[in-house]
Amino acid sequence: MSEAVQTLEGWFALHDFRRIDWRHWIQASREERRNMREAFHTLVAQWENIEAEKRGSTALYTVVGQKADLVMIHLRPTLEDLEATERAFDLSAFAAVTQPAYSYVSVVELSNYTTKPGTDPSDDPAVQSRLKPILPKTAHVCFYPMNKRREGVDNWYMLDMEQRRTMMRSHGEIGRRYAGKVTQIITGSVGLDDWEWGVTLFADDPITFKKLVYEMRFDEVSARFGEFGRFFVGNRLSRDRIDVWLPE
Ligand code: 76R
């Protein structure tokens, strides 16, 4: 058996994608629309408090294209907290105009591929803050789930640790060339959802997503082993933009 990679887990993640029933929104009375919008503002204010108290983090983006209209990315300490967050949304007046579009459950993950052998990364405060990150407030987000292939000679899980470590080093080097332009949050979902990881990328320039993901396609670990789910891309839904996005 190949040596398993060691992972550290942090906050749990829910990527909660919703569709908005805009017809329903338009047909509602002005007062109903105000109530629904107010209900959404109330939730957002609660999520901001949780983030200020470092009990989790939430990022809101509107989704471009027909796969969804809104994504709420929640990080929380436990699965119970995530479920409560989802339920509070479902019970709010705003949820009446939303329908589920997609969801992804995972947990923030760091692996020991690039840590020095013999050191304990969990002692490092920088590692602790990467496990419980405050989500960036960039203009754009990109999310997709992915697997590492298990087919014939391209079976990631049959490679020995050293081969995987070498490939992950090269992967990390490409990634680091985008330092300051992209923040990646890798969440592991083996045993939790349909794919093995969720990849969430944050950037102010959406072209950076295209350049980074394309460059990685030529790198061995993505070229041979990467299998990808659907891609979602979004624009930041700031507090100020909510009233424009949900017009009276
Ligand atoms: O050196 C370090 O501290 C971190 C190195 C690193 C690891 C271990 C790293 C760096 N990643 C790691 C793990 Mn990544 N990453 C992806 C994708 O589209 C594709 O082809 C792949 C999707 C992108 C775009 C990306 C970006 N990474 C992982 C894992 C877990 C693998 C495992 O355990 O087997 C996956 C699935 C994955 C996928 N990666 C970086 C980036 C970027 C921008 C970096 C550098 C920034 C950073 O250090 O955080």
Q: Closest ligand 1 atom to the C-alpha of 196? A: 36
CATH of the domain at 165: 3.30.70.1030
Alpha carbon nearest to ligand 1 atom 26, residue? 175
Q: Residue 97 gets which letter from DSSP?
A: G
Is residue 209 in a domain?
Answer: yes
Is residue 38 in a domain?
Answer: yes
SS3 state at 28: coil
- Comparing CA positions, the residue from 36, 49, 22 lying closest to residue 91 is 36
243/248 Cα distance (integer angstroms): 8
Is residue 151 in a domain?
Answer: yes
Three-state secondary structure of 154-217 = EEHHHCCHHHHHHHHHHHHHHHHCCCCCEEEEEEECCCCCCCCEEEEEEECCCHHHHHHHHHHH
Is residue 25 in a domain?
Answer: yes
pTM of the model: 0.95
Kindly tell me the burial class for residue 192, based on how many C-beta atoms sit within 10 Å of its own C-beta (0-12, 13-18, 19 or more).
middle
What distance in angstroms lies between residue 196's CA and the mean position of ligand 1's atoms?
13
Question: Can you give the pLDDT at residue 119?
Answer: 77
Is residue 47 in a domain?
Answer: yes
Residue range(s) defining the domain that contains residue 148? 7-245
Is residue 1 in a domain?
Answer: no
| Residue tagged active-site, from 144, 157, 178, 214 | 144
Can you tell me the mean pLDDT for 99-110? 98
Question: Can you give the pLDDT at residue 120?
Answer: 77
CA pseudo-torsion sign 94, 96, 98, 99: positive
Alpha carbon nearest to ligand 1 atom 27, residue? 186
- Ligand 1 pocket test target in 110, 154, 186 with most atoms within 8 Å of CB: 186
pLDDT digit string (tens) for 172-212?
A: 999 999 999 999 999 999 999 999 999 999 999 999 999 99
Question: Can you give the pLDDT at residue 115?
Answer: 81
Is residue 2 in a domain?
Answer: no
Can you tell me the mean pLDDT for 79-84? 98
pLDDT digit string (tens) for 105-144?
A: 999 999 989 887 777 777 888 898 999 999 999 999 999 9
Question: Can you give the pLDDT at residue 135?
Answer: 98
How many domains in the chain?
1
Q: Is 226 in the pocket of ligand 1 (CB under 6 A)?
A: yes
Is residue 227 in a domain?
Answer: yes
What distance in angstroms lies between residue 39's CA and the mean position of ligand 1's atoms?
37
What distance in angstroms lies between residue 55's CA and the mean position of ligand 1's atoms?
25
Q: Is 178 a catalytic residue?
A: no
